[in-house]
Chain A
Amino acid sequence: MGSQSGDISSALKEALASLGTAESPEAVRSIVSQAVGKKGSLGALKSSLGSIADIEQRKQVGAAINAAMTELTHAADARISEMSTAELLSNIERDRVDVTERALKSEVAARLGRTHLVTQATERLEDVFIGLGFQIAEGPEVESDFYNFEALNMPPSHPARSMWDTLFINQDPQGSVLLRTHTSPVQVRVMQEWPPPIYAIMPGRVFRRDTPDATHMPVFHQIEGMVIDRNITFSDLAGTIEAFTKAFFGSEFTSRLRPSYFPFTEPSAEFDIRRPDGSWTN
Protein backbone atom coordinates (compact mmCIF):
# COMPACT_ATOMS: atom_id res chain seq x y z
CA MET A 1 0.00 0.00 0.00
CA GLY A 2 3.20 2.14 -0.20
CA SER A 3 2.16 5.37 -1.90
CA GLN A 4 -1.44 5.33 -0.59
CA SER A 5 -0.15 5.13 2.97
CA GLY A 6 1.96 8.24 2.42
CA ASP A 7 -1.00 10.01 0.80
CA ILE A 8 -3.25 9.16 3.73
CA SER A 9 -0.86 10.36 6.41
CA SER A 10 -0.03 13.57 4.58
CA ALA A 11 -3.74 14.25 3.95
CA LEU A 12 -4.43 13.65 7.63
CA LYS A 13 -1.51 15.81 8.72
CA GLU A 14 -2.68 18.65 6.51
CA ALA A 15 -6.25 18.46 7.80
CA LEU A 16 -5.06 18.36 11.43
CA ALA A 17 -2.84 21.37 10.84
CA SER A 18 -5.71 23.42 9.50
CA LEU A 19 -7.80 22.38 12.52
CA GLY A 20 -5.19 24.06 14.70
CA THR A 21 -5.66 27.37 12.98
CA ALA A 22 -9.45 27.19 12.65
CA GLU A 23 -11.12 29.92 14.68
CA SER A 24 -14.68 28.71 15.00
CA PRO A 25 -16.57 25.43 15.37
CA GLU A 26 -18.07 26.10 11.94
CA ALA A 27 -14.60 26.31 10.39
CA VAL A 28 -13.63 23.06 12.13
CA ARG A 29 -16.71 21.31 10.82
CA SER A 30 -16.10 22.52 7.30
CA ILE A 31 -12.49 21.31 7.39
CA VAL A 32 -13.69 17.88 8.40
CA SER A 33 -16.42 17.70 5.82
CA GLN A 34 -14.07 18.91 3.13
CA ALA A 35 -11.46 16.30 4.00
CA VAL A 36 -13.84 13.37 4.20
CA GLY A 37 -16.16 14.55 1.44
CA LYS A 38 -16.01 12.95 -1.99
CA LYS A 39 -13.74 15.61 -3.35
CA GLY A 40 -11.73 15.99 -0.16
CA SER A 41 -8.23 14.61 0.30
CA LEU A 42 -9.29 11.58 2.36
CA GLY A 43 -12.61 11.18 0.56
CA ALA A 44 -10.87 11.06 -2.81
CA LEU A 45 -8.50 8.39 -1.55
CA LYS A 46 -11.48 6.38 -0.41
CA SER A 47 -13.16 6.75 -3.78
CA SER A 48 -10.04 5.49 -5.45
CA LEU A 49 -10.06 2.27 -3.41
CA GLY A 50 -11.81 0.51 -6.26
CA SER A 51 -8.76 0.91 -8.40
CA ILE A 52 -6.69 -1.29 -6.09
CA ALA A 53 -6.75 -4.73 -7.59
CA ASP A 54 -5.41 -6.73 -4.66
CA ILE A 55 -8.20 -7.35 -2.20
CA GLU A 56 -5.96 -7.62 0.85
CA GLN A 57 -4.22 -4.41 -0.04
CA ARG A 58 -7.58 -2.75 -0.65
CA LYS A 59 -8.72 -3.83 2.82
CA GLN A 60 -5.57 -2.42 4.41
CA VAL A 61 -5.78 0.88 2.64
CA GLY A 62 -9.49 1.14 3.40
CA ALA A 63 -8.84 0.48 7.06
CA ALA A 64 -6.07 3.09 7.10
CA ILE A 65 -8.38 5.66 5.52
CA ASN A 66 -11.12 4.91 8.05
CA ALA A 67 -8.62 5.20 10.90
CA ALA A 68 -7.44 8.56 9.52
CA MET A 69 -11.03 9.79 9.25
CA THR A 70 -11.77 8.69 12.80
CA GLU A 71 -8.67 10.43 14.07
CA LEU A 72 -9.63 13.60 12.24
CA THR A 73 -13.18 13.49 13.64
CA HIS A 74 -11.90 13.03 17.20
CA ALA A 75 -9.41 15.84 16.80
CA ALA A 76 -12.19 18.05 15.47
CA ASP A 77 -14.43 17.22 18.44
CA ALA A 78 -11.61 18.02 20.84
CA ARG A 79 -10.94 21.29 19.06
CA ILE A 80 -14.62 22.28 19.23
CA SER A 81 -14.87 21.46 22.91
CA GLU A 82 -11.68 23.45 23.55
CA MET A 83 -13.26 26.40 21.76
CA SER A 84 -16.50 26.25 23.68
CA THR A 85 -14.61 26.11 26.99
CA ALA A 86 -12.59 29.15 25.98
CA GLU A 87 -15.76 30.92 24.93
CA LEU A 88 -17.45 30.09 28.22
CA LEU A 89 -14.50 31.42 30.19
CA SER A 90 -14.36 34.59 28.20
CA ASN A 91 -18.12 35.08 28.69
CA ILE A 92 -17.70 34.64 32.42
CA GLU A 93 -14.85 37.12 32.42
CA ARG A 94 -16.86 39.58 30.32
CA ASP A 95 -19.97 39.31 32.47
CA ARG A 96 -18.14 39.45 35.79
CA VAL A 97 -19.81 41.84 38.23
CA ASP A 98 -17.53 43.53 40.73
CA VAL A 99 -19.93 44.53 43.47
CA THR A 100 -17.37 46.89 44.99
CA GLU A 101 -16.70 48.65 41.72
CA ARG A 102 -19.45 51.20 42.01
CA ALA A 103 -18.42 52.27 45.46
CA LEU A 104 -14.75 52.49 44.56
CA LYS A 105 -15.41 54.58 41.50
CA SER A 106 -17.90 56.93 43.03
CA GLU A 107 -17.74 59.60 45.65
CA VAL A 108 -18.36 56.89 48.18
CA ALA A 109 -14.66 56.10 48.01
CA ALA A 110 -13.84 59.37 49.72
CA ARG A 111 -16.15 58.41 52.59
CA LEU A 112 -15.07 54.85 53.20
CA GLY A 113 -14.61 53.92 56.83
CA ARG A 114 -11.22 54.06 58.44
CA THR A 115 -9.77 53.26 61.80
CA HIS A 116 -10.23 55.76 64.59
CA LEU A 117 -7.33 57.88 65.75
CA VAL A 118 -7.11 55.94 68.99
CA THR A 119 -7.24 52.59 67.20
CA GLN A 120 -4.44 53.77 64.93
CA ALA A 121 -2.36 54.83 67.92
CA THR A 122 -3.05 51.54 69.69
CA GLU A 123 -2.00 49.51 66.68
CA ARG A 124 1.11 51.59 66.23
CA LEU A 125 2.05 51.25 69.89
CA GLU A 126 1.48 47.51 69.70
CA ASP A 127 3.73 47.32 66.64
CA VAL A 128 6.45 49.26 68.42
CA PHE A 129 6.41 47.02 71.47
CA ILE A 130 6.08 43.80 69.49
CA GLY A 131 9.21 44.98 67.71
CA LEU A 132 10.88 45.27 71.12
CA GLY A 133 9.91 41.67 71.94
CA PHE A 134 6.71 42.19 73.93
CA GLN A 135 3.55 40.11 73.66
CA ILE A 136 0.01 41.49 73.91
CA ALA A 137 -2.26 40.57 76.83
CA GLU A 138 -5.80 41.64 77.57
CA GLY A 139 -8.06 41.53 80.60
CA PRO A 140 -11.64 42.28 81.58
CA GLU A 141 -12.96 45.84 81.77
CA VAL A 142 -15.23 44.93 84.67
CA GLU A 143 -12.82 44.03 87.45
CA SER A 144 -12.83 42.92 91.02
CA ASP A 145 -11.54 45.12 93.80
CA PHE A 146 -8.80 42.55 94.29
CA TYR A 147 -7.21 42.94 90.84
CA ASN A 148 -7.80 46.68 90.49
CA PHE A 149 -6.51 47.63 93.97
CA GLU A 150 -5.61 44.98 96.48
CA ALA A 151 -3.19 42.94 94.36
CA LEU A 152 -1.54 46.22 93.37
CA ASN A 153 -0.53 46.87 96.95
CA MET A 154 -3.64 48.84 97.87
CA PRO A 155 -5.46 46.96 100.62
CA PRO A 156 -8.96 48.15 101.59
CA SER A 157 -8.93 51.72 102.91
CA HIS A 158 -5.48 52.36 101.50
CA PRO A 159 -5.33 56.13 100.96
CA ALA A 160 -3.87 55.76 97.47
CA ARG A 161 -7.18 54.35 96.27
CA SER A 162 -8.46 57.90 96.15
CA MET A 163 -5.95 58.63 93.37
CA TRP A 164 -8.54 57.05 91.07
CA ASP A 165 -12.16 58.18 90.95
CA THR A 166 -13.67 54.78 90.61
CA LEU A 167 -16.94 53.80 88.95
CA PHE A 168 -18.41 50.93 90.91
CA ILE A 169 -20.74 48.27 89.56
CA ASN A 170 -21.38 46.91 93.01
CA GLN A 171 -19.84 48.33 96.15
CA ASP A 172 -19.34 45.65 98.73
CA PRO A 173 -17.00 45.52 101.76
CA GLN A 174 -16.39 41.84 100.92
CA GLY A 175 -15.11 42.72 97.47
CA SER A 176 -16.50 45.31 95.11
CA VAL A 177 -17.05 44.92 91.39
CA LEU A 178 -15.95 47.97 89.44
CA LEU A 179 -14.92 49.33 86.07
CA ARG A 180 -11.15 49.09 86.00
CA THR A 181 -9.50 52.45 86.60
CA HIS A 182 -6.28 51.38 84.85
CA THR A 183 -4.92 48.45 82.86
CA SER A 184 -2.67 47.42 85.76
CA PRO A 185 -4.99 44.59 86.91
CA VAL A 186 -3.93 42.78 83.75
CA GLN A 187 -0.35 42.71 85.09
CA VAL A 188 -1.45 40.53 87.98
CA ARG A 189 -3.58 38.31 85.75
CA VAL A 190 -0.69 37.83 83.34
CA MET A 191 1.73 36.94 86.16
CA GLN A 192 -0.76 34.38 87.40
CA GLU A 193 -1.17 32.81 83.98
CA TRP A 194 2.10 33.16 82.08
CA PRO A 195 5.31 31.49 83.12
CA PRO A 196 8.14 34.00 83.60
CA PRO A 197 10.13 35.59 82.06
CA ILE A 198 7.33 37.87 80.89
CA TYR A 199 7.48 40.71 78.39
CA ALA A 200 3.90 41.88 77.98
CA ILE A 201 1.95 44.93 76.93
CA MET A 202 -1.63 45.39 77.96
CA PRO A 203 -3.71 47.86 75.96
CA GLY A 204 -7.30 48.54 76.88
CA ARG A 205 -10.17 50.77 77.85
CA VAL A 206 -10.27 52.23 81.35
CA PHE A 207 -12.87 54.22 83.27
CA ARG A 208 -12.78 57.04 85.76
CA ARG A 209 -15.41 59.33 87.24
CA ASP A 210 -14.10 62.39 85.44
CA THR A 211 -15.87 65.30 83.81
CA PRO A 212 -14.77 65.51 80.17
CA ASP A 213 -12.45 68.40 79.38
CA ALA A 214 -9.60 69.03 76.98
CA THR A 215 -7.33 66.54 78.72
CA HIS A 216 -9.72 64.15 80.49
CA MET A 217 -12.35 61.67 79.41
CA PRO A 218 -14.31 59.35 81.70
CA VAL A 219 -13.56 56.52 79.28
CA PHE A 220 -10.10 56.45 77.80
CA HIS A 221 -7.34 54.05 76.82
CA GLN A 222 -4.15 52.97 78.43
CA ILE A 223 -1.34 50.76 77.42
CA GLU A 224 0.68 49.14 80.10
CA GLY A 225 4.00 47.36 79.76
CA MET A 226 5.44 44.82 82.15
CA VAL A 227 8.73 43.00 82.25
CA ILE A 228 9.39 40.18 84.70
CA ASP A 229 12.78 38.57 84.47
CA ARG A 230 15.92 37.98 86.51
CA ASN A 231 18.15 40.93 87.37
CA ILE A 232 15.95 43.61 85.86
CA THR A 233 17.10 47.11 86.80
CA PHE A 234 15.83 50.65 86.56
CA SER A 235 18.05 51.28 83.55
CA ASP A 236 16.17 48.56 81.65
CA LEU A 237 13.04 50.61 82.24
CA ALA A 238 14.73 53.84 81.12
CA GLY A 239 16.07 52.11 78.01
CA THR A 240 12.67 50.68 77.12
CA ILE A 241 10.95 54.04 77.51
CA GLU A 242 13.60 55.73 75.39
CA ALA A 243 13.37 53.07 72.65
CA PHE A 244 9.59 53.40 72.64
CA THR A 245 9.71 57.21 72.49
CA LYS A 246 11.97 57.19 69.44
CA ALA A 247 10.01 54.45 67.69
CA PHE A 248 6.62 56.08 68.26
CA PHE A 249 7.36 59.78 67.90
CA GLY A 250 10.59 59.83 65.90
CA SER A 251 14.34 59.80 66.48
CA GLU A 252 14.42 63.50 67.34
CA PHE A 253 12.30 62.90 70.45
CA THR A 254 13.81 61.90 73.79
CA SER A 255 12.42 60.88 77.18
CA ARG A 256 13.19 61.45 80.83
CA LEU A 257 12.06 59.81 84.03
CA ARG A 258 11.28 61.80 87.14
CA PRO A 259 10.54 60.49 90.62
CA SER A 260 6.89 59.94 91.45
CA TYR A 261 4.72 57.75 93.63
CA PHE A 262 2.56 54.77 92.81
CA PRO A 263 1.64 52.11 95.34
CA PHE A 264 2.52 49.28 92.97
CA THR A 265 6.04 50.35 92.07
CA GLU A 266 9.09 51.16 94.15
CA PRO A 267 10.87 53.27 93.13
CA SER A 268 8.22 54.94 90.96
CA ALA A 269 8.70 57.37 88.15
CA GLU A 270 6.74 59.28 85.60
CA PHE A 271 8.11 59.96 82.19
CA ASP A 272 8.08 63.05 80.05
CA ILE A 273 8.83 63.33 76.37
CA ARG A 274 11.00 66.07 74.95
CA ARG A 275 9.88 67.47 71.63
CA PRO A 276 12.42 68.47 68.94
CA ASP A 277 11.86 72.13 69.82
CA GLY A 278 13.04 71.44 73.37
CA SER A 279 9.64 71.64 75.06
CA TRP A 280 8.39 68.84 77.29
CA THR A 281 5.14 66.96 77.32
CA ASN A 282 3.88 64.96 80.27
Chain B
Amino acid sequence: MMHPRVIRAGGLDPDEWSGFAFGFGIDRMAKERHGVADLRDMYSNDVRFLEQFA
Protein backbone atom coordinates (compact mmCIF):
# COMPACT_ATOMS: atom_id res chain seq x y z
CA MET B 1 0.00 0.00 0.00
CA MET B 2 1.31 3.44 -0.83
CA HIS B 3 2.91 5.25 2.05
CA PRO B 4 0.88 8.31 3.13
CA ARG B 5 4.00 10.45 2.74
CA VAL B 6 4.32 9.44 -0.90
CA ILE B 7 0.68 10.27 -1.55
CA ARG B 8 1.26 13.64 0.10
CA ALA B 9 4.40 14.23 -2.02
CA GLY B 10 2.15 13.68 -5.03
CA GLY B 11 -0.05 16.52 -3.84
CA LEU B 12 -2.96 14.38 -2.64
CA ASP B 13 -4.54 14.00 0.77
CA PRO B 14 -3.75 10.54 2.22
CA ASP B 15 -6.84 10.75 4.43
CA GLU B 16 -9.00 10.93 1.34
CA TRP B 17 -7.03 8.79 -1.10
CA SER B 18 -5.38 5.45 -0.66
CA GLY B 19 -3.61 3.30 -3.14
CA PHE B 20 -1.17 0.61 -3.97
CA ALA B 21 1.82 0.44 -6.22
CA PHE B 22 3.78 -2.44 -7.60
CA GLY B 23 6.67 -2.86 -9.95
CA PHE B 24 8.81 -5.48 -11.54
CA GLY B 25 11.49 -5.98 -14.11
CA ILE B 26 10.25 -6.37 -17.66
CA ASP B 27 13.50 -8.07 -18.65
CA ARG B 28 13.04 -10.66 -15.94
CA MET B 29 9.46 -11.26 -16.99
CA ALA B 30 10.59 -11.80 -20.59
CA LYS B 31 13.39 -14.05 -19.33
CA GLU B 32 10.93 -16.12 -17.30
CA ARG B 33 8.30 -16.27 -20.02
CA HIS B 34 10.69 -17.46 -22.71
CA GLY B 35 13.02 -19.49 -20.52
CA VAL B 36 16.08 -17.39 -21.33
CA ALA B 37 18.99 -18.51 -19.14
CA ASP B 38 21.09 -15.36 -19.15
CA LEU B 39 19.87 -11.75 -19.29
CA ARG B 40 23.04 -10.77 -21.15
CA ASP B 41 21.90 -12.84 -24.15
CA MET B 42 19.01 -10.44 -24.54
CA TYR B 43 21.41 -7.53 -25.01
CA SER B 44 24.20 -9.13 -27.00
CA ASN B 45 22.44 -8.21 -30.27
CA ASP B 46 23.08 -11.63 -31.69
CA VAL B 47 20.48 -11.84 -34.43
CA ARG B 48 20.49 -15.64 -34.28
CA PHE B 49 19.30 -15.39 -30.70
CA LEU B 50 16.87 -12.52 -31.18
CA GLU B 51 15.25 -14.05 -34.27
CA GLN B 52 13.88 -16.88 -32.18
CA PHE B 53 11.37 -14.55 -30.59
CA ALA B 54 9.17 -13.48 -33.47
Give the interface of A toward B (CB within 8 A).
111, 114, 116-118, 120-122, 125, 150-153, 182-184, 187-188, 190-192, 196-198, 203, 212-217, 220-234, 236-237, 240-241, 248-249, 263-267, 271, 273, 281
Contact = CB atoms under 8 A, between A and B. Distances in A.
A222 B23 contact: yes
Interface string B41-54: 01100010011011
A2 to B, nearest CB: 81
A188 B9 contact: yes
B2 A228 contact: yes
Contacts, number: 155
Contacts of B39: 212-217, 220
A264 B3 contact: yes
Contacts of B47: 111
Contacts of A184: 21, 23
B40 A213 contact: yes
Interface of B: 1-3, 5-7, 9-12, 16-30, 32-34, 36-40, 42-43, 47, 50-51, 53-54
Contacts of A237: 1, 20, 22
Given A190-B10, A223-B26, A264-B2, 15 more contacts: A114-B51, A118-B30, A153-B5, A214-B39, A220-B25, A220-B27, A222-B25, A226-B2, A229-B19, A232-B1, A237-B22, A241-B22, A264-B3, A271-B22, A271-B24
A276 to B, nearest CB: 13
B3 A266 contact: yes
A64 B30 CA distance: 85
Contacts of A224: 21-23
A240 B19 contact: no
Contact of A229 (B18, B21, B32, B40): B18
A234 B32 CA distance: 26
Nearest to B37: A214
A249 B24 CA distance: 14
Contacts of B33: 121, 248-249
A232 B19 contact: yes
B24 A223 contact: yes
B26 A214 contact: no
A149 to B, nearest CB: 11
Nearest to B23: A224
A117 B33 CA distance: 10
A228 B40 contact: no
Contacts of A234: 1, 20
B33 to A, nearest CB: 6
Contacts of A121: 26-27, 29-30, 33
